[in-house]
Amino acid sequence: MRIALIGAAFSAGGADPGCRHGPQAFYEQEFRGLKRRLPGRFRWAGMIRERSHLPLLHPAGVAGLADSSHRLAAAVARQRQGAVLPVVIGGDHSCAIGTWAGIAAGSRRPLGLLWIDAHLDSHTPETSASHRLHGMPLAVLLGEGDPELLAVGRHTPLIDPRYCAVIGVRSFERGEPERLRRLGVRFHTRHEIRRRGLGRVLNEAWRHVAAAPGGFGVSLDLDVLDPLLAPGVSVPERRGLNPRKLARLLRQQPAKHRLRGLELAELNPRRDPQGQTRRLLPMLLASLLQSR
């Protein structure tokens, strides 16, 4: 398998500008070790940088995010045309709009997506209290939200709601659960995981999205992890997932030949002075690419 990593230095849509430095930190300090650790042909395919260095809320930040997303989508689509698996390293999670627009551009059949995150990221401008754009990408991928962001993809929705699941949720706001229920998206909260067990919930969610006719992808926000073990994120939430347990369970999942793309987002080096969160990325990426 040929794999191309693309940095998405996004932060304008997020809560902390430090996350724009996450992809560069990964490239400089983890990429070479990752190539030694994993079989296959890895290469670094460059960095897409947002032009704004300041956080911008909706609607002020929409034009900039749309521009960045178009450029990221084009970079991802070029890799897919060459039968390469794109792996995007973000940046704030608004980068997902460009990532999955690029992957969907090369697919004629419905795509599935497993969204692993402490948050639902399913706001539209009408439901968001903060108007931060990194709280809106999943809604956009599912076909709802700002028209300029919906126009990033060649079609909408980019992700088929029938084959979408969110896992690890422990913080959300009014409007988000209602939207996902209406669309038919499955989401699994931390409470459910504690009651049923992470392994069982993850197995169900993985198989659900992997059934998509056009293949599927995984978007993993590092804030799904317990901040005591992974503090380097912009919006930490208490009582998250154990990274080693999550990696072990991800490694056990089937049908990885049907993966069309991967995304790991929200590494914030400013909040990770010892590098402990950054060092988890190779382990998590390896678990998504390898089978038991």
- What the chain holds in terms of domains, given with CATH numbers, is 2-289 (3.40.800.10)
3-state class of 208 per DSSP?
A: helix
pLDDT of residue 38: 79
Strand segments, DSSP code E, in the chain are 2-9, 41-49, 85-90, 112-116, 164-169, 186-189, 216-221, 259-265
DSSP assignments along 29-80, one per residue: HTHHHHHHHS-SEEEEEEEEE-S--S---TTTTHHHHHHHHHHHHHHHHHHH
Indicate whether 254 pLDDT > 80. Answer: yes
Tell how far CA 146 is from the center of its chain.
19
pLDDT tier for residue 35 given thresholds of 50, 70 and 90: confident
Question: How many whole angstroms separate alpha carbon 96 and alpha carbon 78?
Answer: 16
192 CB-contact burial (10 Å; exposed 0-12 / middle 13-18 / buried 19+): middle
Catalytic residue numbers read: 93, 117, 119, 121, 134, 221, 223, 266
pLDDT tier for residue 184 given thresholds of 50, 70 and 90: very high
3-state class of 237 per DSSP?
A: coil
Closest Cα partner for 235 from 92, 128, 113, 50? 92
- The torsion of the CA quartet 210, 216, 220, 224, rounded to 10 degrees, works out to -30
Indicate whether 159 pLDDT > 70. Answer: yes
Please, what is the average pLDDT of the chain? Answer: 95
Closest Cα partner for 69 from 134, 1, 4, 127? 134
pLDDT of residue 238: 95
pLDDT tier for residue 52 given thresholds of 50, 70 and 90: confident
AA letter at 248: R
Can you name the residues that pair with 188 across neighbouring β-strands?
A: 167
pLDDT of residue 1: 79
User: What is each CA distance from 42 to 6, 38, 127, in whole angstroms?
Assistant: 11, 9, 41
Question: How many whole angstroms separate alpha carbon 173 and alpha carbon 45?
Answer: 36
Q: What percent of the chain has pLDDT over 70?
A: 99
pLDDT of residue 25: 98
- The arithmetic mean of pLDDT across residues 58-76, rounded, is 97
pLDDT of residue 237: 96
Cβ pair 168, 266 in contact under 8 A: no
pLDDT tier for residue 34 given thresholds of 50, 70 and 90: confident
AA letter at 195: R
pLDDT tier for residue 121 given thresholds of 50, 70 and 90: very high
pLDDT of residue 230: 98
Indicate whether 32 pLDDT > 90. Answer: no
Question: How many whole angstroms separate alpha carbon 148 and alpha carbon 140?
Answer: 10
- The arithmetic mean of pLDDT across residues 250-274, rounded, is 97
pLDDT of residue 39: 65
